[in-house]
Amino acid sequence: MPLQNISKILQHWYHENKRELPWRDIADPYRIWISEIILQQTRVVQGMSYYLRFVERFPDVISLAKADEDEVLKYWQGLGYYSRARNLHKTAQIIAKTYNGIFPKNHSDILQLKGIGEYTAAAISSFAYNQPYAVVDGNVFRVLSRIYGIETPIDSNVGKKKFTLLAQTILDKKEPANHNQAIMEFGALQCVPAQPICDACPLKAICKAFSLNLVDKLPIKATKTKVRERFFNYFYIEFENKIFIQKRTEKDIWQNLYELPLLESEITFEATEIADNEIFKNIKELEISSSTPTFKHILSHQRIFARFFTVRISNKNEFLNHLLEIKKEELDNFAVSRLTSLFLEKNR
């Protein structure tokens, strides 16, 4: 089948089946950018409310650039992968300064921006400006590997080059926005990872994976994600009507978010070990009022085992000076990780 026909079939399917989404059929590069960054690691259903709240509070580059990073992170709270929000904020400031707040139009200028890789640059260039750049995301890898029966691992350098070239070759250069939307939506709704709807697929007759019975084998990934296990002991320290929090400034998960005082260890602590710990040394009256069971919190590359200890103290020591002392009701002003917010929701 001629290559253009595959694109036409996908676009026809898209026209009949596409979901109505708030970032669809708009040409505002700022909003397209925000939606693409949110959707990178988030499902559409979850991302929708975040997108709507985000663009309502920060409707354009300038409003985002002028905002405080803590506020931007607060609007991102619960979405995970917080470097996305930090990069959005920094990039908005760069666009405000370098481009007078007007989103650049040139593909190579877009690609230079922090947090914008090949995929996002192609999405913005095609959706906002109808420029002929093919998107290659997880959906596109899957759809192409199946239709063409490609067994090259999608996470290898050779695979990435091969799929990028193929995606660009089959791109409808006259309708790049429609084409890109179509192939991604097709991957999201029809040619899904498990149990794709092959019986009712308009490409069934030419799909190599279908005819060779390779549908559940493709795409192929060469490497397995390594998962690191970590053990977090959090302390909800109550002093009069106050508690203590800290900002995670290290280059690590949840950078620049706030959290309760944390001790990371080889295993999670037992309640009996707390009084001996550095943080609580020299505190005369210390009452460990409760501790949670161990929570298992799964991130893409890490598995966190966390316990929360509620501790009441009636005097402070210098260790606590390094922490931020706040009133309990002020906690809502700080962006925290999903793990911390799960604990706080139940225990305040």
Residue ranges binding ligand SF4 (CB under 6 A): 146-147, 190-191, 196-198, 201, 203-204, 207, 209-210, 215
Strand duo 295-298 + 286-291: pairing: unpaired
Buried b (16+ CB within 10 A) or exposed e, 221-238: eeeeeeeeebbbbbbbbb
Residue 145 or residue 268: which is nearer to ligand SF4 going by CB?
145
Cα distance between residue 83 and residue 85, in whole Å: 5
Minimum CB separation of residue 204 from ligand SF4 in Å reads 4
Least Å from the CB of residue 169 to ligand SF4: 17
Task: Please tell me the distance from the alpha carbon of residue 110 to that of residue 86, in angstroms, as a whole number.
Answer: 17
Minimum distance from CB of 210 to ligand SF4 (Å)? 4
DSSP reduced 3-state for 291? strand
**Rounded Cα distance, 214 and 78, in Å:** 37
What is the Cα–Cα distance from 15 to 82, expressed in whole angstroms? 34
Return d(Cα 124, Cα 26) in angstroms, integer: 11
For ligand SF4, which is the closer residue by CB, 64 or 143?
A: 143
Active site residue ranges:
36
CB of 211 to ligand SF4, least distance (A): 9
Which of residues 10 and 237 has its CB atom nearest to ligand SF4 in the complex?
10
345 neighbors 338 (Cβ within 8 angstroms): no
Q: Which is nearer to ligand SF4, 55 or 147 (by Cβ)?
A: 147
- Report, in Å, the least distance between residue 39 CB and ligand SF4: 21
- Residue 31 or 146: which CB sits closer to ligand SF4? 146
Q: Name the pairing type of β-strands 302-313 and 228-238.
A: parallel
Distance CA 81, CA 255 (A): 9
CA atoms of 270 and 278, how far apart (whole Å): 15
Backbone angles phi, psi at 326, to 5 degrees: -135, 160
